[in-house]
Amino acid sequence: MDSRTDHRFDTQGAGITVQRALELPGLRSGLPETVAGADRLGRTVRWVHAGEVPNIASLLKGGELLLTTGYGLGSRPAEQRAFVRTLAERGIAALVVELGPRFTRLPAALVDTARAAGLPLVQLHREVPFVAVTEEIHTEIVNGHYALLQRAEEVHRRCTGALLDGGGVPQVLEVLAGFGDNPVFLETADGRLLYAAGAGPEGTDPLQVWEGLRGPHKDAPPPAGSVLVDVPGGGPGAGSVRARLVLLPVRSPLAAVHRIAAERAAGTLAVVLMQARQEEELAARGRGDFLTDLAEGRVTAQDAPAQARVLGFRPGDGPLLPVVMRVGDPLPLDGTARAGGAGDGSGWAVLARAVAEELASVGVPALLGVRPVEGRVPVLLGLRAQADRPAVADRVAAALRAGAERAGMRRPDAPPPVVVVGAAGDWATASAGLRHAAETATAARGLPDRPWYDARRLDIDLLLWRLRDHPGLAAFVDRAIGPLRDHDDRARPPLLPTLETYLAHAGRKAETARELHLNRQTLYNRLARIGELLGTDLDDPQTVLALSLALRARRHVVQAPGPAQASGRGWVSSS
């Protein structure tokens, strides 16, 4: 029987109601009469206590049904009123007084105070054995606990059965929603909705319920009577939370059994989510390994289409577009938490799923992998025509960056992800394009942020990056812009930004002045000072070329990275 419609059991805690206790043979044989608080008989009886001492309230925790013959109530009205008030403040379920030698009828002060305090007060007209009453009610409470556990266990068995039948998280939530007759939601630890099941009032969509009650109010307490249960995350911290189950009482009240069932379901979901993420990450790494092998020539252009089909990639007859995203410094292989990230040992699985979901809206075939060692996400896309490259690159780059943001794979102080798009072509072109894009993604670090970079336009940066450890490159930078760099270290305004902007606009002074928010005379003075410090003519094409190269090489020389580290499969350095 459902505890929501069964007056024997309370709808919130674990116990029976006062009404049910009075109906049991032990108290019923005492001819009970409720003289106060008749509207409060639905209160929970958590335990039974018998006693005859005036300070008995100090021995109680709340929720007890107190049995007494009245010897501890006191003889004066003030004592009796104080006795009842302290019991009500303690939160007991009800006071039951057996009439007899101490009282033949309950004093008016006792009854009036109980009514004012909202405390159920019952008098027994016949003597009853308190031991038998205590044993009987305790047995009923224990049986109630067992009944709740049985019902919750049945829900757990049904959830397990749904998984064994090939279901997943949605099927588990459907079981739980059906049992509670209320919508059920699975949220991330920070309140983002993952799954929804069940129906709202009058069969409304559960997403409407979540949006109205949880969406804008994730940080606020849920509505009264809701059930929130953490789904453990299995991360490095003992209190790690992977997700959160939320049951909202919008169709009917939720009972203790629904919390117990949700706790059992949370354990099942923890295993399902952990297994799913492990499988997702393994699959994403497998696709990443294939794309790496393709880039390095370990998979030939002839064999690549068949292997790609096994991985679910069927691009059609159009050109292939290689894209590589670099998310920053290589992440720990164990998925150690980043600020705002999952931090549960499966960050790359979260990234792969988030990016895949974003790419689904692009509408082109995509094969996406991850390379945790290098901190890269290689992607191969199928275009309908070569002319689609710019538009698809725009959408794919936005999807990649949005997915990385959703997955929390970027520290607040870290630069944004770098997305590099290679040349479109056949499988042989894709092989070279993936490698080129991967190398360029590393070389592009420190460039002004753009939605995406064309790998073909960054060949000079790539060449300079490859020469980063050569002492001649540092010497070249020092000769070309050393005096300017020394000036900026000790004087203001700095002149290097002016030179960079001037060269970026190909020597067009009006555009340079607008971008730097300078009047023309101030710009002319700065350019003259730059020429004086460098001892050169900024209108000379060879000088302009040398300065442009020095400014681009400066990023790599300043970083002074060490020797390239092996990537484990020999792709490109993760430096």
Can you tell me the distance from the alpha carbon of 530 to that of 527, in angstroms, rounded to the nearest whole number? Answer: 5
332/37 Cα distance (integer angstroms) = 62
Beta bridge partners of 418: 326
Dist. CA 379–CA 59, nearest whole Å: 68
Name the residue with tokens 């944004």.
416
**Nearest Cα to 176, choosing from 147, 193, 196?**
196
Torsion of CA 505, 507, 509, 511, to 10 degrees: -10
Nearest alpha-carbon partner for 185 in 236, 250, 117, 233: 250
Phi, psi of 571 (to 5 degrees): -75, -120
Where helices occur in 124-205 by DSSP H, the ranges are: 130-164, 169-180
Strand pairing category for 44-45 and 47-50: unpaired
pLDDT at 400: 85
Rounded to whole angstroms, the Cα distance separating 569 from 285 reads 12
Q: At what angle do helices 541-559 and 471-490 cross, to 10 degrees?
A: 90
Angle between helices 459-466 and 427-443 (to 10 degrees): 60
User: 3-class SS at 413?
Assistant: coil
Query: What pLDDT, on the 0 to 100 scale, is given for residue 338?
Result: 33
Asked whether the beta carbons of 309 and 367 are under 8 A apart, the reply is: no
Range list of H helices, 214-317: 256-295, 304-310
Single pTM value for the model: 0.49
- pLDDT, position 93: 92
Q: Is the peptide bond before 493 cis (omega within 30 degrees of 0)?
A: yes
Place of tokens 């988030």: 354
Measure the CA–CA gap between 569 and 292, rounded to whole angstroms: 8
State how far the Cα of 346 lies from the Cα of 342, in Å rounded to an integer: 7
Residue 159 tokens, joined: 């959830």
Residues 6+ apart with CB under 8 A from 460: 549, 552
Nearest Cα to 423, choosing from 413, 431, 415, 414?
Answer: 431
Question: Helical H runs in 335-418?
Answer: 347-360, 389-406
Cα separation of 186 and 227, whole Å?
12
**Dist CA 129 CA 52 (whole Å):** 15
Cα 482 from Cα 484, distance rounded (Å): 5
Sign of dihedral through CA atoms 282, 285, 291, 296? negative
What is the DSSP track for 532-550?
HHHTS-TT-HHHHHHHHHH
Residues 6+ apart with CB under 8 A from 143: none
* Rounded-to-10 torsion of CA 43, 45, 49, 52: 10
- Average pLDDT per 10 consecutive residues for the chain, totaling 575 residues: 38 70 92 94 90 89 91 90 93 93 91 94 94 89 78 84 80 88 83 80 79 69 84 59 84 85 86 72 80 90 87 89 81 36 52 76 85 86 91 89 76 79 94 92 83 90 84 88 88 88 88 91 91 88 88 71 36 41
Task: Enumerate residues 6+ apart whose C-beta is below 8 A from 382.
Answer: 313, 314, 315, 316, 318, 320, 321, 364, 365, 366
3-class DSSP state for residue 122?
strand
| Residue type (1 letter), 392 | V
Q: Report d(CA 166, CA 126) in Å as an integer.
A: 61
SS3 category, 456: helix
Length of the chain: 575
CA angle, corner 95, sides to 94 and 100, nearest 5? Answer: 150
Decide if 312 contacts 283 (C-beta within 8 A). no
Rg of the chain on CA atoms, in Å: 37
